[in-house]
Structure 1
Amino acid sequence: MNSTNPLELRAPIGQSKKVSKWKKELTIPKILATILLILATLFFIFPFYWVVSGAFKLQTVATTIPPEWFPAKPTLQNWTELFKNPVERWMFNSFIIAFCEMAAICIVSSCAGYVLAKKSFPGRGIIFTMFVAAMALPKQVILVPLFTMLADFGWVNTYKGLILPAIGWPFGVFLMKQFAQTIPGELIEAAKIDGSSEIRLFGTIILPLLKPAIGALAIFTFITSWNDYFSQLIMTRSTSMMTLPLGVATLRGEFTTNYGLLMAGAALASIPMIAIFLMFQKAFTQGITMGAVKG
């Protein structure tokens, strides 16, 4: 009589349970949702692929119909032509402006958000309502008086004129206020009982608790500043003060346009944004959902 090993009987049973569970999870709605997500991903990735592939095509190939979906004869001529321009200066300006705006907005917004969330004073609700209303106000509405004021200060075509007007970003204050509301009030009261000053309380207790919100706001600010083509176009006058998006836009000719060269510039301008998004993708998700439950 053959003896049967109990382990040999358990393995197929466990395997069958996994297969049945997998079959239950693999329903038709989930399959359709997966297919739709794949199609949507390809739809949104295709423009970036077209820009990158076009950066390695000659002008005659980049505008051919039917299009060449993959560069059969890739070339670096567009990149050589691109770096004949002051691209390094444009990138330096973009980094300086984006980084300074990011740091200043994070500091100001964290202070303002904490005060609006945890301090009681007359008019607090009205001030916060004004910040929320300002989020719906288009930048073009205040552009003319803002430009006039900066011209009176002599700040046009300077780093001050490009950085300082963006510090009071209403979205930053709103985001930090919503997150600061989740800080327990008992923690603040305990620090005050221990004799902590307001500056020490904010620096040693509040700021560490606000780190997730500050990280998300920093990424949002950097990307917004890097892509702020309209304001930078109005506030700059010389080639040396141009940012990378502005510099790439000037590569467009008056009568003819080298689209391969433009695609190379666009691909170069998108590299920092893609790198930051991949590095801080979790912060993006937290920034979108932050304050959605409490506040």
Structure 2
Amino acid sequence: MLFNNHLVNIKMKYVRNTIIIILLSLFALATIFPIYFMLISSFGDPVEAGAMSYSLIPTKISLDSYKFFFDYSIYSFRWLTNSLIVATSIMISNVFFASLAGYAFSKIQFKGKTFLFGLLLCAMMIPYQVTQVPLYILIVNVFNMQNTYSALILPGLVTVYNIFLAKQFMTTIPKEIIESAKIEGCNQFQIYIRMILPLSKTVMAVMAILTFMDSWNTFFWPFLVTNTMDMQTIQVGLKNFRFANTTYFAPMMAGATISALPMFILFFSLQRYFLEGVTVGAVKG
């Protein structure tokens, strides 16, 4: 009887594990498929344009679409450069300012700290789209920054989400470390540079990856504030391959593939810190 019950439990466990594996495999395929389709489509013939066959298995491999992407427009390299400048600047500024604010909110006592942090959390609840019109009026009409790097970078210098992320992580850093640094004669900025930053590599890696990906993939805001092709980012520049009567599909996919490479490089270079940052606080003790 006990043997039969044990056998039934083993079979149930096997069936449950099989179902989980199948579901996870389907989810992984659904996630990877757009990347696969983008990649194989980029090797298509650029002359097919809007008549692309959308084949899931490439009939031939050609790099003509990549050549077409760079030859079609003299601004292709400029688009990539603009995206790199904007995304890198926003990433660095967010990591610095958000970690600095996170340290202040988590370890420094000052009047109105709770109210100010609550105000930031309320601001985080406001949808991004709601702020676009007043932000556009402020950047374009008030400060006259349209079609400049300042217009692309300044609105994203620091985000409330990154401040919240840094604050929550730095709260877990023991106060004894900071007190010891104060005894040694360090001021607040020295404590931040010498003690807090080295202990916050994981959360900084998470902020860097997420911020770079968000800035690199942003389409709407660069589309609003740029009016010449030389100031467009790669995501906005790709729309130039679509016309009223046809679309250069394969070259567009080639450009999308090229634009995805920096994100893969950044993620895999910081993967170890990113995975550590995701699991912080998941296990006690």
The two structures share one fold, judged by TM-score above 0.5: yes
Residues 199 and 280 (structure 1), Cα distance of their counterparts in 2 relative to 1, 3 Å cut = closer
1:225 and 2:212 are equivalent in the alignment? no
Kindly provide the amino acid, as one letter, of the partner of residue 250 in structure 2. G
Asked if the contact 1:188/1:201 (under 8 Å) is kept, the reply is: yes
Displacement of 1:289 after TM fit? 4.0
Q: Identity rate of aligned residues, in percent?
A: 35
Which residue of the partner structure matches residue 5 of structure 2? none
Displacement of 1:283 after TM fit? 3.2
Asked if the contact 1:61/1:68 (under 8 Å) is kept, the reply is: no
Distance 1:185 1:24 in 2: 51
Displacement of 1:232 after TM fit? 0.9
Distance 1:62 1:254 in 2: 11
2:118 is aligned, of 118, 129, 136, to: 129
2:134 is aligned, of 145, 148, 155, to: 145
Which residue of the partner structure matches residue 246 of structure 2? 256
Which residue of the partner structure matches residue 20 of structure 1? none
Distance 1:232 1:291 in 2: 36
1:109 is aligned, of 98, 108, 111, to: 98
1:178 and 2:168 are equivalent in the alignment? yes
1:55-96 residue CA offsets vs partner (Å, 9 max, x unmatched) = 11236498566x522111233332222112221111111111
Displacement of 1:118 after TM fit? 0.9
Residues 251 and 222 (structure 1), Cα distance of their counterparts in 2 relative to 1, 3 Å cut = same
SS of the counterpart of 1:250?
helix
Distance 2:283 2:116 in 1: 22
Residues 288 and 129 (structure 1), Cα distance of their counterparts in 2 relative to 1, 3 Å cut = farther
Displacement of 1:262 after TM fit? 1.7
Asked if the contact 2:50/2:246 (under 8 Å) is kept, the reply is: no
1:33 and 2:20 are equivalent in the alignment? yes
The answer for unaligned runs of 5 or more in structure 1 is 1-22
1:244 and 2:231 are equivalent in the alignment? no
Residues 190 and 263 (structure 1), Cα distance of their counterparts in 2 relative to 1, 3 Å cut = same
Which residue of the partner structure matches residue 208 of structure 1? 198
Displacement of 1:186 after TM fit? 1.4
Aligned CA RMSD, in angstroms, stands at 2.4
How do 1:61-72 and structure 2 match up within 5 A?
A: 63=51, 67-72=54-59
Bigger mean CA offset, 47-56 vs 68-77 = 68-77
SS of the counterpart of 2:241?
coil
1:165 and 2:155 are equivalent in the alignment? yes
Larger Rg: 1
TM-score by length of 2: 0.87
The answer for unaligned runs of 5 or more in structure 2 is 1-9
Kindly provide the amino acid, as one letter, of the partner of residue 50 in structure 1. F
Bigger mean CA offset, 190-199 vs 235-244 = 190-199
1:221-259 residue CA offsets vs partner (Å, 9 max, x unmatched) = 111110111111111111111111111122111221122
Which residue of the partner structure matches residue 87 of structure 1? 76
Distance 1:227 1:196 in 2: 40
1:202-223 residue CA offsets vs partner (Å, 9 max, x unmatched) = 2111221122211211111111
Displacement of 1:165 after TM fit? 1.2
Bigger mean CA offset, 222-231 vs 125-134 = 125-134
1:20-76 residue CA offsets vs partner (Å, 9 max, x unmatched) = xxx8997221122112111211121111111111111236498566x5221112333
SS of the counterpart of 1:83?
helix
Bigger mean CA offset, 203-212 vs 131-140 = 131-140
Displacement of 1:271 after TM fit? 1.7
SS of the counterpart of 2:145?
coil
Distance 2:275 2:219 in 1: 25
Bigger mean CA offset, 216-225 vs 148-157 = 148-157
Number of aligned positions between the proteins:
272
Asked if the contact 1:232/1:243 (under 8 Å) is kept, the reply is: yes
SS of the counterpart of 1:73?
coil
Asked if the contact 1:178/1:291 (under 8 Å) is kept, the reply is: no
2:255 is aligned, of 255, 265, 269, to: 265
SS of the counterpart of 1:165?
helix
Kindly provide the amino acid, as one letter, of the partner of residue 133 in structure 2. V
Displacement of 1:292 after TM fit? 6.2
Which residue of the partner structure matches residue 51 of structure 1? 38
